[in-house]
Structure 1
Amino acid sequence: MTEPDLDTPVLDDHLHLDPDAGRGLSAVRDFRRLGGTHLLVVNKPSWHLGVEVETCADFRAVFERTLDVVADASDLLPGRAWPVLGVHPGLISRLVDDRGFSPDAARDLMQAGLDVAAEYVRDGRALALKSGRPHYDTTDAVWAASNAVLRHALGLGADLDCAVQLHTEASEDLADVASWAEERGLPAHRVVKHYAGPTLAGPTPSVMCRKEWLREAAERGDPFLMETDFVDDPDRPGAVMGPKTVPRRVRMLREEGYDDAVRLAHVETPAQVYGIDTEATLTDGT
């Protein structure tokens, strides 16, 4: 059953789609049925798609598969989907711990992978980049290499004039990362912390759709985005949040009188961060 139209753009800022092993487009259909209109689809970690990278060219298969599913998702939506491409920061541990790479060699490969992702942004096939650093304890050498990868992504974002989504440790203060971005010419608001809480110093928070977090973000009135981090992994069916969650939370916020916050999260902040117009794309489908 289709829910009543929410009469507003509804954007999930960060989720994954796996048309081969996961739910794929059926998740997109669920999102739309509940009132969802727009998606930012982030490529799954390369090894989750069966790609064990040896050279930067190996990332292309991951990126191309993501572009394919984004095009199919756009065909199903009243708005559209955009791809966000990059290198998951957890790859460094897979390379160093499981495959015998040195931290410096892993850094170089991951930076080269980001250079490939940047090609897709440069030619207009992707909207933004994805990078970050481990959210778990690592050695000093892996931490330093990870921060070098993150800074490289921020430099690419500045060169391309595009946003950079980050996967990092849980934190309410990433002012250091924001300063790295500003030093490279990328405005701090164009850096997005995915899986964020309602308060964050530095980047723009992409708030996980816990009800209490969204209410707090709405009350604060600062720019924010909403996400599920839907992982689309059949081996983890209850992991993170499902694709219906963002439209359901939008409905909740509007019923509680937070109309301005809904517009902030789904129209104004996407425009500021990514340069996208969720209203125009909802109207004319371009």
Structure 2
Amino acid sequence: MIDHETPILDDHLHLDPDHGRGFEAVDDFARVGGTHLLVVNKPSWHLDVEADVGEDFRPVFERTLEIVTEASERLEGRAWPILGVHPGLISRLVDERGKTPDEAESLMRAGLEVAAEYVAAGDALGLKSGRPHYDVDDEVWAASNNVMRHAFELGADLECAVQLHTEATDDLTTVAEWAEDAGLPAQRVVKHYAGGRLTGVTPSVMSEKDRLEIAAEAGDPFLMETDYVDDPDRPGAVLGPKTVPRRVRWLLEKRYEDAIRNAHVETPRLVYGIDTEGTLGESETTLED
């Protein structure tokens, strides 16, 4: 057991108490030292929402806010919601529901605008968008990029961060330029499921040791995540909720104290404007198995 007084933030995970482990996963995270969570709404169709207009996304966002409220009560720190439209929805709309790419783009932009209402009201921390991580045709790719650029416009207006789901890459320079063109600082754009090195935007590094060591050695701003999916049909998918605290312990053992502070204090403040230290309780955080 190692005592280490620090906030520990998982930058991207999903919670589904209606179908998955839900708050048991939060308790697991907290039990091994986790203090803060950024909870991203699950893809709308996973919650049986087949949207036709932007307002149809609202129940997904409302349920996420309810989940975050209860999760916060179980943490020494707190949780925040990230709301948006999963970029994979475009394939569902075009391939399965017969919409044109332009129609799908319009619907997804409208969903982001509903999500933006929650950020404007102070109920959500940031937006989620992106583009497919798999091959799509040129029209779908262009429509997806248009949706993402709209998210940047909304983020600029709201002065909030935008989390991205994208293809695997270590270079998002062009995407960073789009964000800057929209008035959103590139550092406030976060690529979730990132490797240890990324050019252009801020990486939210999957908490695997090899990726984290690269990020720690680089010394650039980065975050840590699990992308825990909380899906009973995929119990071993991605990383479990205990992973980030355990990797913080590993980083501490490797003498990467500066990297821990970078990922859990400095970068969250830089990207999201949140104070993970100020929202931490007075008792000492304990890392254990």
Counterparts of residues 35-54 of structure 1 (less than 5 Å)? 35-54=33-52
Q: CA–CA distance in 2 between the matches of 1:113 and 1:71?
A: 22
1:270 match: 268
Compute the RMSD of aligned alpha carbons. Answer: 1.0
Identify the match of residue 149 of structure 2 among 139, 148, 151: 151
What is the aligned-residue identity percentage? 72
Q: What is the aligned partner in structure 2 of residue 256 from structure 1?
A: 254
**Distance in 2 separating the partners of 1:191 and 1:174:** 10
Say how many residue pairs are matched.
283
Correspondence for 1:89:
87
Cα distance in 2, alignment partners of residues 280 and 165 from structure 1: 23
Distance 2:196 2:164 in 1: 16
Unaligned runs of 5+ in 1: none
In the TM superposition, structure 1's runs of 4+ consecutive aligned residues that sit over 2 Å from their partners are 3-6
2:268 corresponds to which letter in structure 1? P
CA deviation profile, 1:94-148 (whole Å, cap 9, x unmatched): 0000000000000000000000000000000000000000000001110000000
- Give the aligned residue type for 1:73: A
Q: Which amino acid aligns with 1:40?
A: L
Q: Residues of 1 paired with 2:234 and 2:61: CA distance? A: 23
Partner Cα separation in structure 2 for residue 248 and residue 282 of structure 1: 19
1:107 aligned onto 2:105? yes
Residues in 2 aligned to 1:22 and 1:52: alpha-carbon distance in whole angstroms: 20
Within-5 A mapping of 1:62-73: 62-73=60-71
- 1:172-202 Cα deviation digits (max 9, x unpaired): 0000000000011100000000000011110
Question: 1:75 — aligned with what?
Answer: 73
TM norm structure 1: 0.98
Pairing of 1:188-227 with structure 2 (within 5 A): 188-227=186-225
Q: Secondary structure at the match of 1:173?
A: coil
Structure showing greater relative contact order (alpha-carbon pairs closer than 8 Å, 6 or more residues apart) = 2
- Structure 2 residue 167 is matched with structure 1 residue 173: no
Deviations 1:231-253 (A, max 9, x none): 00000000000000000000000
Which whole-Å CA distance do the structure 2 matches of 1:55 and 1:247 have between them?
A: 39
1:280 paired residue number: 278
Equivalent residue in structure 1 for 2:159, among 161, 164, 171 = 161
The counterpart of 1:57, out of the listed 47, 55, 75, is: 55
Q: SS in structure 2 opposite 1:282?
A: coil
Deviation at 1:283, TM superposition (A): 3.5
Q: Which runs of 5+ in 2 are unaligned?
A: 284-289
> TM-score, normalising length from structure 2?
0.97
